[in-house]
Structure 1
């Protein structure tokens, strides 16, 4: 399975690929870390959580680095690796799940922006009110028109935005480090309950903030040199890990853990306000808007790219491979905007719109990550990749399997509602090609997805699952 590479005039250098990785990961999640960690654990648990998440995600980063080199003919990495390793239907699940995860994540960005503005515009509330959703939908379609102007142009905008949004985040780290009070930090050393449960409670949050580690892999067909894909992935990841861990741990030294847990989102604003006053909250608010809009741009590009490449490879309906005169995947971008809009409408019925979209986004990403790691492990064992490759792929596979356990049954069932509905696209694709819709093994997977989706709907109806 191959897809034609982009023309030389549209190739991206290492710096822009790295900016895509950083821009994809540094979005809404980092601004929510103090409250999310304060609710789940103390300093000790946070250190363990970042060690586990950092190691696991670094293994995934190495997996994408290795696969980019060993399988240079596979573009749009996450989806392509799943198909190559496990077949067309699992590959479809990976492509659809990755795309849906990106769309839910994009909805969370708009929720957080409106929650931030809600501090001065009460009608926006915590981002899930009718006025907030209405304004967010307008924003979705405004960005849609911008991105239709061309993928490379949007990527160049993202590089500028990446630099701009890192400035307030780095200022936060410096200011909070200076303002840190040792007695407050040590008082928040321990959380409540068993350490394992505390760490488990943070896992979906860490997944959410690290989503995008595969960003350069998704854009592999735009790279000037194939080895730049792996380099951009690892460079971007290490820098972002240091930033996320610093934001989390230093916050424990400014406010007691109980107060961190009660902060309004974006909780970074509350921490900086406690350190320097109102201007600190304003700085974070401005940084958040720039950061989130930049991440939204990057994730919209990546989501559309996955649909587009899957359609080019005849694994999605043919209409999704349409391009406009500027070379942008117009049909895939429109489908992305439609799903983001639909998710925003569901937040009207959510008790905590941002937490709901954060966790659902993370949960949807786990199947694509697990399949990519499993494919890397399969290659390392079958093709003699060496002990290092086997260990790295095995650890990445175990880590993603643990994340599915940590997510819990309710989120898994909610995810399968979306997966089951998305199978309609697979049916359309097979019929377009005049092929049997499901093989025997594919039919088994389809039945499992439908049953899980039905259980998810039943849970929502009975109130056993809430959003």
Structure 2
């Protein structure tokens, strides 16, 4: 996962490096050309999720289904990336993130719901990061177990509140931290790809290719479509943050390079993800991969390279995800802070302290993270659960972004002065919208129902925000009222099903 501040910090380093090397970037000093833009896209997209891909992708899917899952995700996420790139040019006045597109296209309540989902996704993603960090540390210090035992939760809580204190004092992450974490990602990933490629067993890869074998210790994995659906949240999780690529627009020597860099960087990242997930299936069988703990990549490498290989992967994950934990601590607080300034959240969230830190937003956000860290004690697969809910929560912002791009392409809004590319943008918006709907279907009713429990309290916040803004008239139009009512009903149903034990949050 990535964020604007993280990207901008790395971009500053890239600009300085290019200038110090005497590169002729353009007539304007300090602008980025295609190559550093591609590097920035790759660095911002690669996150902690890649380190557990061998397990997560194979947990309920065969190699053939994994390939189909990546094809669907590749098309959908690329369309989504192009949507954000297109909207950044067609709607330059909307610069407050995905929720701004949802609000502009479909009204305040839909915009709020997108912002609320984005916030939930961000802080639950941070919870999953904390579990991943201490699960990796367990390789060196077994006392941390699976990353969500009492010792791990205490350790994660200490880290959380230390970062909280730093941010309250106005401290922001230094650019060199981002450079270190980027190197920490790429070095073990490239080593993993090379070693698993050398150890790749084609017969093991092709055996039970579609997951229908039931002999020799294998169990059938069900229909191919069901297997593909099982990979969807996994494959989208590793691309959460794709919207950050549009941040590069203002730093590019040529604006056209942004689109090229987005495509090239995305394809490079996609290639890494595909190689990591598929090469693993040529080293260990599907049941073996499904039984690995976080981070699975380390345990795939251990039979090939020994303890030093898995130790390197675990160390790389700790550094990489540790940097991401810092970045997303900042982002989590920034979302409600910006929304508070815009009037979508209550103004209380927009308060700053003397150091310019979003104090109220930070306290609320980190308080929620602390609560969910404690709840992780009761989860058997805490990392997978929290990233799954985080991924489902971000689906509304992504869906409405694609739908907004489709809407303005259909109506011709913002195409009067530059009508070129309208048909292409319509197709891209349609693909991104269909992908968003498909993802809601693939998430399944259990996760969607559990998500409504987190979304329903947001309506109280929305009403407070509207009252705070002096809007005492009707808060919802007819469609918004129906949507709000459906959300409340779904949350009540979810609560009842959890009480009955029909669905379980853990």
TM, length-normalised to structure 2: 0.84
Gaps of 5+ in 2: 1-7, 16-31, 212-220, 416-420
Pick which of 78-87 and 304-313 moved more.
304-313
One of 91, 104, 111 as aligned partner of 2:131:
111
| Cα drift, residue 205 of structure 1 | 0.6
Matches of 2:206 and 2:309 in 1, distance apart?
24
Do the aligned partners of 2:193 and 2:275 also contact (CA within 8 Å) in 1? yes
| Cα drift, residue 196 of structure 1 | 1.1
Pick which of 41-50 and 234-243 moved more.
234-243
TM-aligned CA distance change 1:259 to 1:283, over 3 Å: same
**Equivalences, count:** 459
Query: Residues 21-80 of structure 1: CA distance to partner in whole angstroms, max 9, x if unpaired?
Result: 545532231111111222222221111111111111000001011001111111122111
Kindly report which structure 2 residues correspond to 1:344-363, keeping only aligned pairs within 5 A, or say none: 344-363=373-392
Pick which of 42-51 and 306-315 moved more.
306-315
Pick which of 235-244 and 208-217 moved more.
235-244
**What secondary structure sits across from 2:456 in the alignment?**
helix
**What secondary structure sits across from 2:377 in the alignment?**
helix
Match for residue 33 of structure 1? 53
Match for residue 76 of structure 1? 96
| Cα drift, residue 185 of structure 1 | 2.1
Pick which of 111-120 and 92-101 moved more.
111-120
Q: C-alpha root-mean-square deviation of aligned residues, in Å? A: 2.7
Match for residue 24 of structure 2? none
Pick which of 221-230 and 207-216 moved more.
221-230
Matches of 2:501 and 2:37 in 1, distance apart?
44
Match for residue 364 of structure 1? 393
Matches of 1:33 and 1:69 in 2, distance apart?
34
Kindly report which structure 2 residues correspond to 1:163-242, keeping only aligned pairs within 5 A, or say none: 163-191=183-211, 192-217=221-246, 227=255, 233-242=262-271
| Cα drift, residue 448 of structure 1 | 1.6
Matches of 2:455 and 2:295 in 1, distance apart?
30
Query: Residues 385-412 of structure 1: CA distance to partner in whole angstroms, max 9, x if unpaired?
Result: 5211111110110011001001011111
| Cα drift, residue 148 of structure 1 | 4.4
Pick which of 200-209 and 445-454 moved more.
445-454
Do the aligned partners of 1:16 and 1:159 also contact (CA within 8 Å) in 2? no
Matches of 1:314 and 1:221 in 2, distance apart?
27
One of 391, 400, 403 as aligned partner of 2:427:
391
Match for residue 308 of structure 2? 279
Q: Is residue 423 of structure 1 aligned with residue 451 of structure 2?
A: no
Query: Residues 250-301 of structure 1: CA distance to partner in whole angstroms, max 9, x if unpaired?
Result: 1111112221111122110111101111111101110110111122233333
Match for residue 338 of structure 2? 309
Match for residue 132 of structure 1? 152
**What secondary structure sits across from 1:40 in the alignment?**
coil
Match for residue 319 of structure 1? 348
**What secondary structure sits across from 2:210 in the alignment?**
coil
TM-aligned CA distance change 1:9 to 1:449, over 3 Å: closer
Matches of 2:314 and 2:461 in 1, distance apart?
39
Q: Is residue 400 of structure 1 aligned with residue 436 of structure 2?
A: yes
Match for residue 443 of structure 1? 481
| Cα drift, residue 92 of structure 1 | 0.4
**What secondary structure sits across from 2:380 in the alignment?**
coil
| Cα drift, residue 439 of structure 1 | 2.3
TM-aligned CA distance change 1:394 to 1:308, over 3 Å: same
TM-aligned CA distance change 1:135 to 1:225, over 3 Å: farther
Q: Is residue 101 of structure 1 aligned with residue 121 of structure 2?
A: yes
Kindly report which structure 2 residues correspond to 1:13-28, keeping only aligned pairs within 5 A, or say none: 22=42, 24-28=44-48
Q: Is residue 338 of structure 1 aligned with residue 367 of structure 2?
A: yes
Do the aligned partners of 1:207 and 1:362 also contact (CA within 8 Å) in 2? yes
Match for residue 22 of structure 2? none
Pick which of 17-26 and 388-397 moved more.
17-26
Do the aligned partners of 1:21 and 1:233 also contact (CA within 8 Å) in 2? yes
Query: Residues 427-461 of structure 1: CA distance to partner in whole angstroms, max 9, x if unpaired?
Result: 22111112136223333222222111111211221
Between structures 1 and 2, the one with greater helix share: 1
TM-aligned CA distance change 1:307 to 1:232, over 3 Å: farther
Matches of 2:268 and 2:68 in 1, distance apart?
19
Query: Residues 171-217 of structure 1: CA distance to partner in whole angstroms, max 9, x if unpaired?
Result: 11112112212222222523232211111110011111111111244
Do the aligned partners of 1:11 and 1:224 also contact (CA within 8 Å) in 2? no
**What secondary structure sits across from 1:335 in the alignment?**
helix
Matches of 2:159 and 2:40 in 1, distance apart?
21
Q: Is residue 461 of structure 1 aligned with residue 499 of structure 2?
A: yes
Q: Is residue 298 of structure 1 aligned with residue 336 of structure 2?
A: no
Pick which of 44-53 and 162-171 moved more.
162-171
Matches of 2:259 and 2:352 in 1, distance apart?
28
Query: Residues 113-162 of structure 1: CA distance to partner in whole angstroms, max 9, x if unpaired?
Result: 22223345444222222221121111112223344465864455324322
Pick which of 364-373 and 143-152 moved more.
143-152
**What secondary structure sits across from 1:408 in the alignment?**
helix
Do the aligned partners of 1:26 and 1:291 also contact (CA within 8 Å) in 2? no
Do the aligned partners of 2:81 and 2:245 also contact (CA within 8 Å) in 1? no
Query: Residues 295-320 of structure 1: CA distance to partner in whole angstroms, max 9, x if unpaired?
Result: 22333333333322222211111122
